[in-house]
Structure 1
């Protein structure tokens, strides 16, 4: 499971990661439930990730990248691009 986000920097990073995941999911026309199933995650946890409420572990981020059919580095790069 992910960790609750405490500092302002952590919350901003969590928000960017969640937006990056949501964009890729929506690009594919998938629901949160479809992505959660593909990544073997709970749907409500998927929602928390996309809202930036939690920061997923590296293993969970890798599962999401695999489910989205892209390298983890690309998902992280998209997160960084959202920083500006």
Structure 2
């Protein structure tokens, strides 16, 4: 339970609460081992073969974003999925 003092109505208090909530959802960058990378590669290849949508969980600035779509091309040289 959050109890407020007389400072709770101040704008900077509201901002600090928002910052605390954002910080609570931050995560460390996951490290994928070789088996996980191979499994991801197989999943993407199968999705390309059957034109099936895939959902990617992308790590970006301590947060995970989801991106869903169909994969048309993999550029291994530049590590891009198009």
Normalised TM-score (structure 2): 0.29
* Rg comparison, structure with higher value: 2
Q: Which has the higher helix share?
A: 1
Q: Which has the higher strand share?
A: 2
Normalised TM-score (structure 1): 0.28
Greater RCO between the two (CA within 8 Å, min separation 6)?
A: 1
